[in-house]
Structure 1
Amino acid sequence: MWWLTPLLFVWLIGGCSDSGWNNPYPRSDLARNILYSSFSERPKHLDPVRSYSANEYEFIAQIYEPLLQYHFLKRPYELVPLSAERVPVARYYDTKGNPLPEQADSGEIAISEYEISIKQGMLYQPHPALARDNSGNYRYHQLGQQQIDSSNTLADFPLTGTREVTAEDFIYQIKRLAFPKLSSPIAGIMADYIIGFKQFGEQLDALYERMQQQGTNNKYIDLRPYAIEGVQLLDRYRFRIRLKGKYPQFVYWLAMPF
Structure 2
Amino acid sequence: MLGASLLLAAAGPLRAATDAPSEEPPRVLRYAFRIAETGFDPAKVQDIYSRTITQHIFESLFTYDHLARPVRLKPLTAAALPEVSADFKTWTIRLQPGIYFADDPAFKGQRRELVAADYVYSFKRFADPQTNSPAWDTLEENHVLGLNEYRAELERSKKPFDYERPIEGLRALDRYTLQIRLARSRPRFDQTLADGSLFGAVAREVIEAYPDRSMEHPVGTGPFRLAAWRRSSLIVLERNPAYRERYYDAQPRIDDSEGQALLNRFKGRRIPMIDRVEISIIEENQPRWLSFLNGQFDLIDRVPEDFINQAMPGGRLAPGLAKRGIQGYQVLTADVLFTVFNHEDPVIGGNQPERIALRRAMALGTDSEREIRVVRRGQAIAAQSLLMPHTTGYDPRFKSEGGDHDPARARALLDLYGYRDRDGDGFREQPDGSPLQLVSLSTPESFQRQIDEIWQKAMAQIGIRVEFKTGKWPENLKAMRAGRFQIWSLAMSAASPDGQDSLGLYYSPRIGGSNYARFRLPEMDRLYEKANSLPDGPERSAVFAEAKRVATAYAPYRARGHRLLTDLAQPQLIGYRRPPFWLNWWEYVDIDPSAAERRPLSTPSP
TM-score, normalised by the number of residues in structure 1: 0.61
Question: Is the alpha carbon distance of 1:210 and 1:76 closer, same or farther for their aligned partners in structure 2, counting shifts above 3 Å?
Answer: closer
CA drift at 1:203? 4.0
1:36-51 alignment, distance < 5 Å: 36-51=30-45
CA drift at 1:242? 0.6
Question: Is the alpha carbon distance of 1:66 and 1:210 closer, same or farther for their aligned partners in structure 2, counting shifts above 3 Å?
Answer: closer
Contact 1:200–1:227 (8 Å) recurs in 2: no
Residues in 2 aligned to 1:232 and 1:70: alpha-carbon distance in whole angstroms: 25
2:127 corresponds to? 178
1:1-258 alignment, distance < 5 Å: 31-91=25-85, 102=86, 109=87, 112-132=89-109, 161-192=110-141, 193-205=143-155, 209-210=158-159, 223=163, 225-257=164-196, 258=198
Residues in 2 aligned to 1:127 and 1:30: alpha-carbon distance in whole angstroms: 27
CA drift at 1:244? 1.9
* Cα offsets for 1:153-174 (capped at 9, x unmatched): xxxxxxxx53111100010001
Contact 2:100–2:113 (8 Å) recurs in 1: yes
CA drift at 1:231? 0.8
* Cα offsets for 1:20-39 (capped at 9, x unmatched): xxxxxxxxx99223333322
Residues in 1 aligned to 2:173 and 2:28: alpha-carbon distance in whole angstroms: 40
Contact 2:38–2:47 (8 Å) recurs in 1: no
Question: Is the alpha carbon distance of 1:115 and 1:71 closer, same or farther for their aligned partners in structure 2, counting shifts above 3 Å?
Answer: same
Identity of aligned residues (%): 28
* Cα offsets for 1:165-200 (capped at 9, x unmatched): 110001000110111221222322422321112122
Residues in 2 aligned to 1:46 and 1:222: alpha-carbon distance in whole angstroms: 24
Contact 1:171–1:231 (8 Å) recurs in 2: yes
Residues in 2 aligned to 1:210 and 1:184: alpha-carbon distance in whole angstroms: 17
Residues in 2 aligned to 1:127 and 1:38: alpha-carbon distance in whole angstroms: 28
Question: Is the alpha carbon distance of 1:195 and 1:222 closer, same or farther for their aligned partners in structure 2, counting shifts above 3 Å?
Answer: closer
CA drift at 1:222? 6.0
If each structure's strand is expressed as a fraction of its own residues, which one has the higher value? 2
Kindly provide the amino acid, as one letter, of the partner of residue 148 in structure 2: K
Residues in 1 aligned to 2:50 and 2:137: alpha-carbon distance in whole angstroms: 20
Residues in 1 aligned to 2:190 and 2:44: alpha-carbon distance in whole angstroms: 20
2:538 corresponds to? none
Residues in 1 aligned to 2:159 and 2:192: alpha-carbon distance in whole angstroms: 33
CA drift at 1:204? 4.1
If each structure's helix is expressed as a fraction of its own residues, which one has the higher value? 2
Kindly provide the amino acid, as one letter, of the partner of residue 37 in structure 1: Y
TM-score, normalised by the number of residues in structure 2: 0.27
Residues in 2 aligned to 1:234 and 1:245: alpha-carbon distance in whole angstroms: 21
Question: Is the alpha carbon distance of 1:72 and 1:115 closer, same or farther for their aligned partners in structure 2, counting shifts above 3 Å?
Answer: same
**What secondary structure, in the 3-state scheme, does the structure 1 residue paired with 2:56 have?**
coil
> Structure 2 unaligned runs (5+)?
1-22, 199-606
Residues in 2 aligned to 1:125 and 1:237: alpha-carbon distance in whole angstroms: 19
* Cα offsets for 1:201-251 (capped at 9, x unmatched): 1344456x357xxxxxxxxx661x112221111000001101122111210
Kindly provide the amino acid, as one letter, of the partner of residue 70 in structure 1: Y
Residues in 2 aligned to 1:184 and 1:210: alpha-carbon distance in whole angstroms: 17
**What secondary structure, in the 3-state scheme, does the structure 1 residue paired with 2:125 have?**
helix
* Greater RCO (Cα-Cα under 8 Å, separation 6 or more): 1
Question: Is the alpha carbon distance of 1:182 and 1:243 closer, same or farther for their aligned partners in structure 2, counting shifts above 3 Å?
Answer: same
2:445 corresponds to? none
Residues in 2 aligned to 1:45 and 1:222: alpha-carbon distance in whole angstroms: 25
**What secondary structure, in the 3-state scheme, does the structure 2 residue paired with 1:200 have?**
helix
Residues in 1 aligned to 2:165 and 2:80: alpha-carbon distance in whole angstroms: 28
Query: Which is further off, 234-243 or 198-207?
Result: 198-207
Residues in 2 aligned to 1:256 and 1:173: alpha-carbon distance in whole angstroms: 13
Question: Is the alpha carbon distance of 1:189 and 1:58 closer, same or farther for their aligned partners in structure 2, counting shifts above 3 Å?
Answer: closer
* Cα offsets for 1:127-164 (capped at 9, x unmatched): 122123xxxxxxxxxxxxxxxxxxxxxxxxxxxx5311
